[in-house]
Amino acid sequence: MEEMKDVIKDYVIKEYVEDDTEITYDTPLISGGIVDSFSMVSLKRFLENKYKISIPDDKATPEAFDSVNKIIALVKEYVKY
């Protein structure tokens, strides 16, 4: 799953980081103020399109999107191998 980790991390950096803030796999994204809750929707749509999954709205919580590692865990629940 290393590739997924990097795909998501790269997307987060490209999409949300507008200065030189360093992002790790565990950086708090929403509680850390990097991704606002409004912008979460594009991340959800990106994941759904990229991995051909559908994440129910009630699972797409700020907590579940709060770090790259947490997002990976969420995506894994829905990816069919």
Partner 1 sequence: MAYTDKIRGIYAEILTGLKDAGLFKQERYIHSAQAADIEVEFPSGAPLKKVINICANNYLGLSSHPEVVKAAHAGLDSHGYGMSSVRFICGTQDIHRKLEQMVTKFLGTEDTILFPSCMDANAGVFEAVLTKDDVMISDRLVHASIVDGIRLCSAMHDTFKHSDMEHLESKLQLHNDKRLKMVITDGVFSMDGDTAKLDKMVELCEKYDALLFIDDSHSSGFIGKTGRGTHEQYGVMGKIDIITTTFGKGLGGASGGCVSGRKELVEMCRQKARPYLFSNTIAPPVVAGVIKVLEILSASTDRRDKLEKNTEFWRKGLIDAGLIIKEGNTPIVPVMLFNAKLSQDVSRDLYDEGIYAIGFFFPVVPQGQARIRTQISAGHEIHHLEKALDAFKKVGKKYEILGKTKQEIIERYGM
Q: Which residues bind partner 1 (CB under 8 A)?
A: 18, 36, 38-39, 41-42, 45-46, 49
When the beta carbons of 3 and 33 are compared against partner 1, the nearer one is 33
Question: Helices in 1-81 by DSSP H: which ranges?
Answer: 2-16, 40-51, 68-78
Task: Say which residue the tokens 């708090």 belong to.
Answer: 28
Q: Residue 2 and residue 72: Cα distance in Å, rounded?
A: 10
Closest approach, Cβ 39 to partner 1, in A, equals 5
When the beta carbons of 3 and 19 are compared against partner 1, the nearer one is 19
When the beta carbons of 45 and 52 are compared against partner 1, the nearer one is 45
Cβ atoms 11, 65 nearer than 8 A: no
